[in-house]
Chains A and B, each alone.
Chain A
Amino acid sequence: MSKQPFEKVVAEHGGTVLRVCRVLLGSHDADDAWSETFLAAMRAYPDLPETANVEAWLVTIAHRKAIDVLRAGARRPVPVGELPEEPAGPGVQGAEDDGLWQAVRALPDKQRQAVAYHYAAGLPYAEIARIIGGTTDAARRAAADGIKNLRKSYPDGVRR
């Protein structure tokens, strides 16, 4: 049993990684993070153990790339108050989602990451703890707190 062609990895996980990147960064920067993630993944793919959880591996790469994108963005001088709205991706997020996206962006980093990796990628908390650091319980709490905060600031978009 040899390794799947990388195209299969892109086909199976491309959508999930894009959702994760969007939760982490918003839709515009998500595209860059997605591209960086899959390019880095393709570079490292031959050395990935065949037993590895490919999705968790991709999310781990996306996590690092999103941090890079945020750091690069922080270095760009953007006057507060003139921050433009995130351009909506075609057919992805309508105007009604803007409030939720803003609420997601307002979350503390760990909460936003835990929400992304659990609710957009479906990773178990033990895996999330490995990616963001800390204990499994802390990862579970960060995701729960994140959802609680979203529900507070955006009650319509976060259903039970």
Chain B
Amino acid sequence: MKAMNEHTDLFTTPADAGTLARLHRTLELAAENDGLLDVAYRTVDSPVGSLLLAATPRGLVRVAYDAEDHDRVLETLAGRLSPRVLRAPKRLDEAARELEEYFGGRRRVFDLQLDLSLSKGFRLLVQQHLPSISYGQTRSYRQVAELVGNPKAVRAVGTACATNPLPVVVPCHRVLRNDGTPGRYVGGPAAKITLLNLEAAA
């Protein structure tokens, strides 16, 4: 890169951000039209911090807290799903809108297509059952273990909640320790309490 300064600055002038932003948007549309947008993502601000939202053509596949490190989450998605990962907000419009309504206390149930392909086996089974715990309600890990027909698998239920790829939307925050205290949470204990208080107040 040093050689350039010997000759001309023109070829090294940084392309203006506006042009690159416009070109990026055309790429998002073209990639979607050509079926290349394997993973689209965007971030949204929320009372529990910045949330990363990612979707495949099948549906919302990942919601990630800041604490999970969005860059690392995207790298994991690139490795597990497809490296064709592009910031393309349009596919996440509906999810962003429903989350905004949820955090505003105006939505109790998410009506979104979900892609559960990041989870397998018992974890998937547990995560599929979590939406049956309705808004404002809570269950203990033991109760969820009973719910999925495996009352001894209390610890495995805890693991399933901790590895939920779709926190907030798939309500693992509604599962508490057997003594009723909130317990651990992928977004940190403070985020769990924020969500529980939000739902209790509405």
Contact = CB atoms under 8 A, between A and B. Distances in A.
B13 interface: yes
A157 B79 contact: no
Interface in B130-166: none
B85 A34 contact: no
A89 B84 contact: no
B13 A43 contact: no
Interface in A121-160: 122, 147, 150, 157-160
Contact of B10 (A14, A38, A91, A157): A157
B113 to A, nearest CB: 22
Interface stretch (B14-22, B104-112, B169-177, B184-192): B14-22
A2 B8 contact: no
Contacts of B77: 5
Contacts of A5: 39, 74-75, 77-78, 83, 85-86
Interface stretch (B26-34, B55-63, B116-124, B194-202): B26-34
A122 B11 CA distance: 10
Interface class of chain A by DSSP: helix
A39 interface: yes
A122 B86 contact: no
Contacts of A90: 16, 18-19
A15 B10 contact: no
Contacts of A19: 11-13, 15
Contact of A6 (B18, B34, B86): B86
Contacts of A120: 4, 11-12
B50 interface: no
Interface string A5-40: 111001000110011000100000001001100110
Nearest to A22: B15
A96 B74 CA distance: 43
A35 B27 CA distance: 6
B10 A100 contact: yes
A4 B16 contact: no
A32 B39 CA distance: 24
8 contacts: A6-B78, A7-B86, A10-B24, A14-B20, A38-B23, A39-B30, A92-B13, A122-B3
Nearest 3 pairs between A and B by C-beta?
A2-B79, A5-B85, A120-B11
Given A5-B75, A18-B20, 13 more contacts: A2-B75, A6-B83, A7-B85, A10-B86, A14-B24, A38-B23, A90-B18, A90-B19, A91-B16, A92-B19, A100-B8, A100-B10, A159-B8
